Amino acid sequence: MVPMSPTARKLLAAFSLLGLGASSAATYVHYNLIQNPDYSSFCDINATVTCKAAYLSRYGSVAGVPVAVGGILFFTWVLLLLWGGRGKSAITDSAPAYIFAGSTLALAVVLYLAYASFFILKEVCPLCVATYVAVIGVFIVSGGASSVPMSSLPSRFLRDMRVLVATPLALVVALIFVAGASWGVSAFPRETERPVVAQAPALTQDQQAELAKWWDLQPKPANFPYDNQGAKVLIVEFADFQCPHCRDAYFALKPIVDKYTANEKDVKFIFKTWPLNSNCNAAVPGANFVASCDASALYAMARQKGTGDTLRDWFFLHQQEITPDTVRGTATGVAKIDQAAFKAGYDKAIQEVKTDAAVGTSLNVHSTPTFFINGRSLPAGGIAPQYFDSLIQLELSRAK
């Protein structure tokens, strides 16, 4: 029996506690992002150094469970092995080998996630980086501390399981760990799946030149009714929360809008509702979507309260669930507006909706979504992301 050196034990404990702390914080942030996609945490420093994009991307979860939960389970498991392998216990010599084997798998996972973060998402998640460091540290230290051949682990595992069953305290701790892990995985709220939009190639110089020529031919109203408040580029969107094309445009173009509006001194974005329902939009012949007016009214109230962006994201993420009942129930909870306040403020809000719709109609909005960039309208129904991005860049370059 070769015991682990005190230095190695302390280092493994330190790296495990670092990883456990980072994973716990990441799980907390991810939980809040599921409840509120516009939640901003302490690690959201700028457009490059942020946790939000990593956690909400397809790399942030497995089967709806955040990878951070896996981090909590891994580092807790390492700490339990360190506790069980202390002194002259039966698994003193096996514990470093188990940790090394587990950390080898964990290392493969974090290398993949690091690649996705740095080279695909092109962002740095501070909590993720802390977890990477912790896993690498556990891998290196346990590899140096292990004196047991990996080939002997299967037979040792059977022996150690018999010891575990024969040791009441260790068995209770193991059962608590398994039960806690199962509960944590099953109880964590699942995030509604967001559409994955394939990234189109950037426009060539010839395509950009042709786009600029076409853009200059588009009419620009002399008195556009919205003020850019000093921004170089003003983007205005008219949309309906129940319109499928609006939902597609939201998920396709939101990353671009978010990228540029991080600094509103350069680009400002205004969202206006143009409900496809004649009850609040005189330009629409019928009530195409029965909940459009109520949803738009709630959004008008939420915008005043500061929860408009959260509600807009929820509406498009849960578009199939929108009904007058869900607007008054679930959606009012998302907007932090109780049903009594919704009822009391409805008449004023619906008048604002009608006014916005009338303004859109005066700008020749006749379908949704309709976008304007510095007063010029884009083709009805939206535009491909790479063209949308290029037009913003074009207007920014001209503003300079």
Nearest to 250 by CA among 210, 201, 301, 194: 194
Query: What is the predicted pLDDT for the residue at 30?
Result: 85
Write the DSSP string, 206-224: HHHHHHHHHHHHS---TT-
Q: What is the pLDDT of residue 175?
A: 73
Q: For residues 294 and 350, is the Cβ–Cβ distance under 8 A?
A: no
State yes or no: pLDDT of 263 exceeds 80.
no
The edge-to-edge listing of strands for the beta sheet with 233-239 is 267-273, 233-239, 370-373, 376-377
What value does the mean pLDDT take over residues 246-266? 87
pLDDT at position 19:
93
Give the CATH superfamily of 6-187.
VKOR domain (1.20.1440.130)
Percent of the chain whose pLDDT exceeds 90: 48
Q: Which of 46-60, 156-170, 275-289, 347-361 has the highest mean pLDDT?
A: 347-361
Residue written as tokens 């109780």? Answer: 338
DSSP 8-state assignment for residue 51: S
Can you give the pLDDT at residue 95? 79
Please tell me the predicted confidence (pLDDT) of residue 333: 81
User: pTM score, two decimals?
Assistant: 0.59
Cα torsion through 363, 367, 369, 370, rounded to 10: -20
Could you please state the CATH topology (level 3) that the domain comprising 205-399 is classified under: Glutaredoxin (3.40.30)
For residue 220, what pLDDT is reported?
85
DSSP reduced 3-state for 197: coil
**At which residue do the structure tokens 């949308």 appear?**
388
Q: What is the mean pLDDT of the chain?
A: 86
Question: Would you say residue 188 has pLDDT above 80?
Answer: no
Residue 194: its pLDDT value, please? 67
Fold agreement between 6-187 and 205-399: no
Q: Mind listing the pLDDT tens digit for each residue in 199-251?
A: 778 899 999 999 999 999 998 877 899 998 889 999 999 999 999 999 999 99
The answer to whether residue 93 scores a pLDDT higher than 90 is no
Report domain extents, the chain: 6-187, 205-399
pLDDT tens profile 285-329 = 877 789 999 999 999 999 998 889 989 988 998 898 899 988 988
> Would you place residue 48 in the very low, low, confident or very high pLDDT band (cuts 50, 70, 90)?
confident
pLDDT at 8: 87
- Is residue 154 scored above 90 in pLDDT? no
